A and B are shown apart, each in its own frame.
Chain A
Amino acid sequence: MIYLKTMLKCIDNSGAQMVECIKVLRKNPKNFASIGDKIVCVVQKARPSTSTITGASASNRVKRGDIVRAVIVRTKKETQRPDGSVIRFDDNACVLLNKNDEPIATRISSVVAKELRDKNFNKIVSLAPKVV
């Protein structure tokens, strides 16, 4: 249940650590975002940039205060699947996206939900170390 002011973990190597949701995209205003939904968020906490990072990844890095798009990959709220099973994670997490709905980052650090595959985020699913 992600809506205005929700703080989420960012689990990619874009440099963002915590982001705050400021808008749920293409949903009823009373509605909330769940796994696979897109949001607009503000980077509230970012990793300090180090000089070792070079090339494309450096240009993709985000800073504190940046407004970015993201897709939700895990929620604390239970999600029911068509086979009747229900999944919930211990935190809310997202992966940052560019305007073409592709992930900004090149690496994803932890578990993502299987639902992303149905919503055409195949790149995130293939980058993730574990899909549940």
Chain B
Amino acid sequence: MMGIFNTLKPLIAQRFKAHLTSPGAIPFVETKAAVLFKSPELSRLRKRLLTRPGLIGVKRGMVPFYTNEGLRIPCTVLEIDQVEVTHNKTVANDGYSAVQVGYGFKLKNQTKKMLGHFAKAQVSPKEKVVEFHVKSDDGLLPVGTLLKADHFKVGEFVDLQSISKGKGFAGVMKRWNFHGLKASHGVSKAHRSAGSTGGNQTPGRTLPGKKMAGRMGGHNVTLQNVEVVDVNAEKGYILIKGPVSGATGSYVKIQDAIKRYH
């Protein structure tokens, strides 16, 4: 019995290295170093991102679209004009992969920095530049690629991001759909006010996030899973089912629907 015990060598525990003693096995295996959960690298991998970039469009108005069966679909017209890749961001350089895409043409009031940036990419100066995160460097497109409206197909679903119309300083009834106070029964000059904003001595303060009057609109709004009704690459437009937030002439980011595609 003792002899058997003597043949077993004690395990040498070393950090990142596991020593195996059984005969015929690989003597040791190098393991990967642990990565911090909150590191930029891991957080990038955790993110649910698309494999390709989207487009920028400009909202031009709404029209009805009739199918051959006679269904009427109210549609928003988005213009896709001179959408070109202006820059690529890589994991090695920037810590994440992204495609920078520009829209249109604008020469007036361009800064020298931006002019140089566009000259480097060999594209004309753009009026709007946005960035689309992609999953990995495989999703990057060569700089200067012209993206047309047929990037998306009819029947596909997209996510739309745009800035909603500003409503100014709005009361709680308009901003948060509160009911207001009563029209009579002693209410004085407070018919559209919010009423109480919290408790008494406990907690002795108004809790953070309390819905109150303030600036309404003018913020980013994302519409998810919106159907593409019609696409015309040659004439440069996409028809999207239903309304899109923002005024006519506002920029709209169009991407594959994140909940449907990868």
Contact = CB atoms under 8 A, between A and B. Distances in A.
A and B touch in the complex (CB under 8 A): yes
Interface stretch (B64-72, B180-188, B204-212): B64-72
Contacts of A82: 71-72
A84 interface: yes
Contacts of A84: 64, 66, 72
Interface of A: 82-84
A65 B64 CA distance: 48
Nearest to A85: B72
A contacts with B: majority SS: loop
A82 B64 CA distance: 12
Interface of B: 64, 66, 70-72
Nearest to A84: B72
B contacts with A: majority SS: strand
Nearest to B72: A84
A83 B70 CA distance: 6
A84 B66 CA distance: 9
A87 to B, nearest CB: 14
8 closest Cβ pairs, A-B complex: A84-B72, A83-B70, A82-B71, A83-B72, A83-B71, A84-B64, A82-B72, A84-B66
Nearest to A82: B71
Given A83-B72, A84-B64, 6 more contacts: A82-B71, A82-B72, A83-B70, A83-B71, A84-B66, A84-B72
Contacts of B72: 82-84
A83 B73 CA distance: 8
B64 to A, nearest CB: 7
A112 B64 CA distance: 28
A83 B69 CA distance: 9
Nearest to A80: B72
A82 B72 CA distance: 6
Contacts of B71: 82-83
A93 B108 CA distance: 64
A6 B72 CA distance: 32
Nearest to A81: B72
A84 B69 CA distance: 12
8 contacts: A82-B71, A82-B72, A83-B70, A83-B71, A83-B72, A84-B64, A84-B66, A84-B72
A83 B71 CA distance: 4
